[in-house]
Amino acid sequence: MFTNKINEQIKNKKSFIINIVWIFLYAIFTLIIVLHHEIWADEAQAWVVVRDLDILGIIRHVRTEGHPLLWYFSLLPLAKLNLSVLSMQILNWLLVVISVGILIFKSPFNFFSKFAVVFSSGFLYWYVAIARSYCLIPLFMFLIASFYQKQKEHPFIYAFLIIALANTHVIMLGFCTALAIIFLWNNKDKKSIIAAGLMFLSFAFLTGYLWNSQNENVVVKNSLILPLSKGIIHALDRAVFNLYGNVGWFYTTLFYFFTAVTAVITFFKNRQMFSVYIFSMFFQFAVYIFIWGQLPQRIYTLYFVILFCFWIMFKDFSNKHKIFINIAIVIVFLSTLPGNLDIIKQDMQKSFSDGENVAKFIQKNIPENAFIVSNYPLTTVVISAYLPKNSKKWKFFYYGYNDYYTYTIWTKKIYPSYHPIPLEEYLKTHKEIYVIMSAGSFYEDLIPIYASSDKVFNNQEKFAIYHIVKRQN
């Protein structure tokens, strides 16, 4: 018996070392990807908002973004210390690496399933390279899963994790609400009731904070909402494409089969996990159909919900069923990689956005306090992220706002990028102006003093700068 105990300790130590090496290799490989990635407008927006506004200003503005505040407050110390925007990317990368560590050490799946999840397109690129609030979702989901069995002993810690997850992104509110209801159903002691009350109170606050925010956002407000039947079909098609980079019959069949089989298994094995899965899925797709469009990081959370349900139920399956689940996870997650390899390759070889290069050009070649006009604030925010904090030397003016700006202001008028800029009006009050054009709209009859090269991957964030001098009478 003593020998068996020694052998078990050696086995556990060996497994621990293998896991650490695995996490280390993943961290190094993804760090290389992160350091090759230039942030784009969606990433830059959160950084510039936090950098240039005070706390009350952040709270007032972020609701028009339609997002909870957790990611913005996570960036607050970095931005207020005047660190570079690279610090945001490193924080994002670190949080994803921690998520991977929790998955590897705490999840009940076998090596091959863990490998498939870690080296799927989500963890290899979408979550780790694109620095946005989505990096917090797997972190808190995996923490909740690993803490699920201890919720009765530590109700307040469990409640804190669920509240934190709800405040990562609005699409997680359905999942968190389902977990909170089940928690209250299963635990009737005084501490648990208080913890549940805190969860529901936070959900109510979050709902009130974001309520009707989509109608204050001029871009979302003017977006086309499809009829329900077409909206559902479109949302499902986009789900397949965003997960697999392809809508071929194989990937479509795989998506529908996996989601349907999950519903059947959870229904017969654990009705509570079935409720979590179904409520979360319907809530997500309602958001996609009526409010926000899809992104790979958003729809990927549906697969994380499925992973969560199997994680909780895994101990109750027979060995035969565990093998089946592990095989399914391997196929479903690894299948996301082939269709997304090209974007990873392109991001490594090209600049994802040209914002950093444009910022360097402006600082070297455009006089301080020059009058700089932009045609589209949704893209030029990435330039602001690389310019000095609260820059008074180089300011951008947008005719839709009739004011200077550094970040996109969603409550003010935003014209299409091709809308003509009133250059003649500006030349009445300025001897010379600089015009930054982007989002596919450029002057064909003017020669730019700067133009993005073909090595910029994101066409929306290819820029051209024109120098226009007032004609002398």
What pLDDT digit, counting tens, does each position of 58-99 carry? 999 999 998 999 999 999 999 999 999 999 999 999 999 999
365 CA to centre of own chain: 34
Which percentage of the chain shows pLDDT scores above 90? 82
450 CA to centre of own chain: 31
pLDDT of residue 5: 60
401 CA to centre of own chain: 27
| Per-residue pLDDT tens digits for 301-355 | 999 999 999 999 999 999 999 999 999 999 999 999 999 999 999 999 999 999 9
Q: Is the pLDDT of residue 4 over 80?
A: no
Q: Is the pTM of this model over 0.85?
A: yes
pLDDT of residue 219: 81
Q: Is the pLDDT of residue 54 over 90?
A: yes
Domains in the chain: boundaries: 2-36+85-347, 355-469
Q: Is the pLDDT of residue 472 over 80?
A: no
Q: Is the pLDDT of residue 2 over 60?
A: no
- At residue 9 the predicted structure's pLDDT band, cuts being 50, 70 and 90, is low
| Per-residue pLDDT tens digits for 344-376 | 999 999 999 999 999 999 999 999 889 999 999
